[in-house]
Structure 1
Amino acid sequence: DLLAAGLGMDWVVYEDSQGRSRALRYRQSDEYLFPVTMISRRREVGNQTPVTVIYQKARDIIEPLLPAQPFQ
C-alpha cells in the first residue's frame, strides 16, 4: 500500500491470457505495476533482493511515465 499511496495508484484485478493478477494501476491509464509478482518471482528463484530495493526500482520505472503533479 505504500507504493500505491506514494504514486497515486489503485489496486485492480488485471486479466490477460495468462490469468488474473492483482496490480496497481495509475488512474484509467495503461500503466500497471505488479508488486506481488515482482517479489514472489524473485523469491521463487532464490533472489533475496530486499523489498525496499524492489520498491525503489518500481518507483524509478513508473514515475517518469506519470504526469507531473502541480506544485511539486
Structure 2
Amino acid sequence: MSITKIAITGAGYINPSNTMALAQHDQVFVLDIDSEKVELLNNRKSPIIDAGASSFRANRALNFNAMLDK
C-alpha cells in the first residue's frame, strides 16, 4: 500500500479533527499563517477544544507536520 501525501490549507475549526484522522494512514501537511497554531499542532495539541482530535494525537501514530511556509 502506498502512502498518499495530503496538503491542507488552514488549521481552522474543522481541519484539526480531519487532519488527525487522515494522518493515521497518509502523510499530511497543514499550512497555516498562524505560528501559534502551527506550534501547537506540531506539539500534538489542538488550537481548538476537540476531544476526538486530542485522543488521536495522544494515542495514535500519526504522519503529520504543520508549517508556516509552503
Q: TM-score, structure 2 length as denominator?
A: 0.26
The structure with the larger Rg is: 1
User: Using CA pairs below 8 Å that are at least 6 residues apart, which structure has the higher relative contact order?
Assistant: 2
Q: TM-score, structure 1 length as denominator?
A: 0.26
Higher helix share: 1
